[in-house]
């Protein structure tokens, strides 16, 4: 069983995004090391109880971004020279996730009848509270 990658079927985040994030996290935390072979698409799909096409999509995307490499007939590996590329991709992923998060906040606020100004005011209040608490330490 593959324990380095966790998929939460109750999480609204798409499974492919969870798997991609889990692989990136495993690399960042050295649970997956440079040059290490990943499970086959089929094996990972069975272990995680997800569709093999989802695993193949994630492997393909991570290969396009330079994080993984596939050696024909051998397998998929963590790419050795992926540090700079990975950092650039992580930044763009973070920006994409922030945009998605902001969209979710705005949609939820709109459905509750809360204005953008009220959301900003509440966030500023929370930030002020957090700053005040930090200054007391």
- Identify whether residues 62 and 76 lie together within a single domain: yes
Q: Per residue in 29-60, pLDDT tens?
A: 889 998 999 999 999 999 999 999 999 999 99
Identify the residue whose tokens are 């094996």: 43
Evaluate whether 51 touches 59 at the Cβ level (below 8 Å).
no
Evaluate whether 9 touches 2 at the Cβ level (below 8 Å).
no
23: nearest Cα among 59, 60, 54, 56:
59
- Identify whether residues 20 and 73 lie together within a single domain: yes
Pairing of strands 68-71, 75-78: antiparallel
Name the 3-class secondary structure at 70.
strand
- Identify whether residues 89 and 67 lie together within a single domain: no
Give the distance from CA 83 to its chain's centroid. Answer: 17
Task: Report the distance separating Cα 57 and Cα 88, nearest Å.
Answer: 20
Mean pLDDT rounded to a whole number for the chain:
87
Q: Is residue 2 part of a domain?
A: no
- Identify whether residues 77 and 93 lie together within a single domain: no
The total number of structural domains in the chain stands at 2
Q: Per residue in 59-72, pLDDT tens?
A: 999 999 889 999 99
- Identify whether residues 90 and 114 lie together within a single domain: yes
Q: Is residue 109 part of a domain?
A: yes
- Is residue 71 within a helix (H) or strand (E), and if so which, with residue range? strand 68-71
What is the domain range of residue 116?
84-136
Identify the residue whose tokens are 């499970």: 39
Is residue 111 over pLDDT 70? yes
Is residue 80 over pLDDT 70? yes
Sign of dihedral through CA atoms 61, 62, 66, 71?
Answer: negative
Q: Is residue 73 part of a domain?
A: yes
Alpha helices in 4-136 (DSSP H): 15-28, 41-48, 52-64, 83-112, 116-136
CATH code at position 21: 1.10.10.10
Which of residues 63, 81, 99 is at a domain's end? Answer: 81
């Amino acid at each position: 069983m593959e324990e380095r990658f966790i998929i939460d079927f109750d999480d609204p985040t798409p499974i492919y995004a969870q798997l991609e994030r889990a692989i990136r996290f495993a690399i960042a935390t050295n649970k997956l090391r440079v040059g290490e072979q990943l499970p086959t698409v089929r094996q990972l799909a069975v272990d995680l109880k997800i569709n093999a096409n989802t695993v193949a999509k994630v492997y393909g995307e991570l290969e396009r971004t330079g994080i993984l490499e596939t050696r024909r007939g051998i397998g998929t590996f963590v790419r050795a020279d992926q540090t700079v590329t990975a950092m650039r991709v992580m930044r763009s992923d973070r920006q994409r996730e922030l945009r998605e998060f902001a969209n979710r906040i705005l949609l939820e606020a709109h459905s509750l009848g809360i204005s953008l100004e009220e959301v900003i005011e509440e966030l500023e209040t929370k930030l002020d509270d957090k700053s005040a608490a930090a200054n007391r330490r």
